[in-house]
């Protein structure tokens, strides 16, 4: 369907993974493309595929390593020199690095990662956003991560860069709310791309639960087109991870992520940490229970009905997440959560009865 013929989308990191799948979606929808990456050969081949399969009118390839100083400015200058108007900017390019920050990782690679994931993304956004606001038209998609909202030992600097991307994007959502320009953060879980190989994390436990990049790209594309501020692809499981990131203690989240990012055990090794899982589950339960009771206590009678419904939905989603996250110890974690949730609901019900008696 060529619904957007004549418009142009600029995609960084388009040569593979989520970026390539996003470029395909834009091509299918009739956009002209500006593809930015380090390999002109890959991007040229991709452009020919789009022209052949989707009838893409114009594919412009810009070979540039965005980890270099002022690379974003050079990309912008080339686009302007070609007379191209960028209607959609997709900041997908990014890399990771695995290992203990103090002893395992290399500073030059970390500095390059910060430049790519943070500085170039910010400069690309600033340059093209200015033109979009002048036209009062445009869309931007920034690739964040579920790690944007949780600590991630063994990928500390990468997680820090993605926390920046998410916070930066949500701040701009507010700044742009009275315009026809929108910006969206895409927060995928671990995805089946070459990311973990390049980050030297190919044998970590998290790689056993990789998501399909086609699904991730489609979710991001749809959210971008709808002007949503953020999207967490992957259905209930990943949205429940998001809920957990907001209510669980940071120390518990860090311990959980440290385990997920650790190397896969040898076949004869046993999975440890039943007590850790219990502690995480109990911590989540306590925080969620407190939030439930305080929120209910301060609500109006009308809002209490809505609050109870939302709290039940969130708690059920969290329980579903816990049952999938903690595998062998899931039942103990969920029991801890449901026990505390039950106490909170009894407290809320008792207060409701007292309120009814007082107003009778």
Cβ of 169: how many Cβ atoms within 10 Å? 25
Quick check: is 158 catalytic? yes
As beta bridge partners, residue 184 has 141
The one catalytic residue in 31, 158, 241, 296 is 158
| Cα→Cα distances 189→95, 213, 233, 238, Å | 15, 10, 8, 7
| Cα→Cα distances 283→116, 241, 295, 297, 343, Å | 36, 15, 18, 21, 15
- Expressed in percent and rounded to 5, the helix, strand and coil fractions of the chain are 60, 10, 30
All residues at 6 or more sequence positions from 83 whose CB lies less than 8 Å from its CB, including other chains: none
Token pair of 33 as six digits: 């493309």
**40-54 vs 17-28: helix crossing angle, rounded to 10:** 30
Which positions are annotated as active-site residues? 158
């Amino acid at each position: 369907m060529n619904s957007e013929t004549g418009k142009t989308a600029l995609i960084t990191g388009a040569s593979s993974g989520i970026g390539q799948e996003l470029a395909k979606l834009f091509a299918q929808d009739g956009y002209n493309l500006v593809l930015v990456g380090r390999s002109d050969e890959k991007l040229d081949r991709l452009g020919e595929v789009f022209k052949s399969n989707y009838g893409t009118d114009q594919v412009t390839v810009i070979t540039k390593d965005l980890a270099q100083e002022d690379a974003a400015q050079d990309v912008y200058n080339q686009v302007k020199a070609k007379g191209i108007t960028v209607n959609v900017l997709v900041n997908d390019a990014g890399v990771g690095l695995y290992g203990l920050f103090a002893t395992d990782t290399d500073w030059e690679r970390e500095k390059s990662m910060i430049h790519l994931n943070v500085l170039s993304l910010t400069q690309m956004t600033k340059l093209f956003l200015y033109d979009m606001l002048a036209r009062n038209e445009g869309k931007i998609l920034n690739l964040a991560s579920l790690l944007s909202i949780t600590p991630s030992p063994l990928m500390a600097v990468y997680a820090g860069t993605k926390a920046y991307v998410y916070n930066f994007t949500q701040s701009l959502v507010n700044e742009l709310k009275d315009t026809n320009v929108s910006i969206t953060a895409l927060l995928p879980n671990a995805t089946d791309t070459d990311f973990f190989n390049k980050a030297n994390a190919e044998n970590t436990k998290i790689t056993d639960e990789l998501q399909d990049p086609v699904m991730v790209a489609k979710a991001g594309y749809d959210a971008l087109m709808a002007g949503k501020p953020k999207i967490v692809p992957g259905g209930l499981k990943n949205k429940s991870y998001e809920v957990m990131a907001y209510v669980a203690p940071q120390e518990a989240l860090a311990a959980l992520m440290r385990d997920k990012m650790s190397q896969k055990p040898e076949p004869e090794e046993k999975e440890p940490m039943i007590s850790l899982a219990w502690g995480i589950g109990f911590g989540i339960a306590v925080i969620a229970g407190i939030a439930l009771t305080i929120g209910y206590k301060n609500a109006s009678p009308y809002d209490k009905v809505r609050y109870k419904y939302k709290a039940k939905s969130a708690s059920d989603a969290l329980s579903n997440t816990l049952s999938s996250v903690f595998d062998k110890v899931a039942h103990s974690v969920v029991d801890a959560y449901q026990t505390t949730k039950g106490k909170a609901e009894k407290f809320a019900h008792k207060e409701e009865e007292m309120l009814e008696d007082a107003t009778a």
